[in-house]
Structure 1
Amino acid sequence: MAETSRQQQKAATRAAILRTAAEEFDARGYSATSVAQIADRLGLTKGSVYFHFPSKAELAAEVVRAGSVVWEPVLREMDGEGVTGLDALRRLSAEAARRFRDDVTLRAAARLTGDGPTDGLPDPFAGWIDVVRRCLDRAVGAGELRAGTDVDELAWHLAAAFLGTQELARRAPGPPDPVERVDQHWTLLLDDLRPPPA
């Protein structure tokens, strides 16, 4: 059944609120952002915002949720292309760095996990660690990792190193940009991760 124009308008308003909230949270942080600021930017009343999101905390949680679901489609696309293991992880990291650089929702989601409400936020980092672990599991199956590698421990440290690399690259003045920094990060790591040649 086709959506009515009223349903389409509601969906468009909700998306606009979410986008504007992400911009405000990214720029100001959670505590310095108000529902009134978001409403004013969109020419809405606070009541209109609350119609779609019952509280600022729920709006923040939805921004984090929106930022945490982007990786599965990217993985499926790589699976379809036959890219797996360490190659998939390197490509996924570059894509993640590009999106963190260019996508305000992802940046806001990351910031909110540090300074947002203490309850009710999903944990996007747990999802990212899981994605890294899945790529590493495939790398083990393909013989791409040194024997005896602790995949769980490596997944945690790779995720932490990636997140730190992209955040420092985003904040540091001048080139290179976060995508280049993440690529350099992998160039340095891969020789240590791969098994020695036979």
Structure 2
Amino acid sequence: MHATNSTPGTGQAVTSRPKQERARRTKAQILNAAAEVFAEQGYPTVTLQDVADRVGMTKGAVYFHYANKHVLAIAVVEEHYERWPELVERVRATKDNPLDTLLAVLDSTAEAFRSDTMVRAGARLQIERSLIGTNLPKPYEWWREMLAALIAEARDAGQLVPDTDPEALARVVVSAFFGVQHISDVLTERADMMERYLEMRDAVFKGFIAG
């Protein structure tokens, strides 16, 4: 008989890790495929079969991970919102001052709305939230709070004029930004997103940047 040094239960744990990783990758593949079809077609017409066809799986395989279209839509919206804190932290790590950080956050967000399918899908599903019939994350509030904090930092650093009201400017920026991305989507499927965004950014901040 050969002696073993294994700890009871260790073999099962080691075996389960690859299975868990495969399941994680499969869920991610399904979620990305769902984002594509939601972004293209919208919530009402998409079916689990559409998602299965896009990802190259059976409907049963999709159903195993996501019980229905409703659950899948919620997961896409939640993933959409998870992108933003990570984006802000990445930008903060590369910029030396508050104003550069503020503008780079907006620039990167505009680019995400132009090219990131998960972001585009989440934005469309938020517009269609009444059709989904659940309590999705409330839109815009996180953006207002985050931008107000960045604007206050830039004002206090002397980069914006002293009488800048961070809360008011944040509300204007959020309203203008999301209006621009929506109009760009409707008119050009966001092909002109960056051009229209830069027009908005320069117009809004023109009177606030300290000379």
TM-score normalized by structure 1? Answer: 0.85
Task: Establish whether residue 112 from structure 1 lines up as the match of residue 125 from structure 2.
Answer: yes
In 2, the alpha carbon distance for the partners of 1:67 and 1:138 equals 26
TM-aligned CA distance change 1:115 to 1:193, over 3 Å = same
**Who is 2:168 aligned against?**
153
CA contact (8 A) 1:78 1:84 kept: no
Residue 173 and residue 57 in structure 1: after superposition, are their counterparts in 2 closer, same or farther (change >3 A)? Answer: closer
**Counterpart of 1:164 in structure 2: which amino acid?**
G
Residue of structure 1 equivalent to 2:79: 66
Secondary structure of 1:105's counterpart equals helix
Mean CA deviation greater in 25-34 or 87-96:
87-96
User: Conserved in 1, the CA contact under 8 Å of 2:173 and 2:204?
Assistant: no
Aligned residues: 196
Aligned counterpart in structure 2 of residue 53 of structure 1, from 66, 82, 88: 66
Structure 1 residues 173 and 142: CA distance shift in structure 2, 3 A: same
Q: Distance in 1 between matches of 2:27 and 2:190?
A: 36
Deviations 1:148-172 (CA, angstroms, capped at 9, x unpaired)? 4332222122011011122323443
Runs of 4+, deviation exceeding 4 Å: 173-176
CA shift at 1:87, angstroms? 2.4
The normalised TM-score by structure 2 is 0.81
Q: In the superposition, relative to structure 1, how do residues 128 and 39 fare at CA in structure 2: closer, same or farther (>3 Å)?
A: same
Q: Does the residue aligned with 2:122 lie in a helix, a strand or coil?
A: helix
Amino acid at match of 2:100: D
| Percentage of pairs with the same residue | 30
- Does the C-alpha gap of structure 1 residues 4 and 136 become closer, same or farther in structure 2, counting only changes over 3 Å? same
| Corresponding residue number in structure 2 for 1:98 | 111
Computing the radius of gyration over CA atoms, which structure comes out larger, 1 or 2? Answer: 2
| 1:173–1:66 CA distance, 2 compared to 1 (3 A) | closer
Residue type of the partner of 1:167?
Answer: H
Structure 2 residue runs of 5 or longer lacking an equivalent are 1-12
Query: Residues 136-188 of structure 1, C-alpha deviation per residue, up to 9 Å, x if partnerless?
Result: 12122212333343322221220110111223234434997312322222222
1:9 equivalent in alignment to 2:25 = no
Aligned 1:176-195 pairs, distance under 5 A: 177-195=192-210
Q: 1:62 to 1:83 in 2, by over 3 A?
A: farther
Q: How far, CA to CA, are the matches of 1:73 and 1:24 in structure 2? A: 24
Greater relative contact order, per chain length (Cα 8 Å cut-off, separation 6+): 1
Q: Which residue of 1 aligns with 2:9?
A: none
Question: Are the equivalent residues in 2 in contact too, given 1:64–1:124 (CA < 8 A)?
Answer: no
Q: Which region of structure 1 is more displaced relative to structure 2, 2-11 or 64-73?
A: 2-11
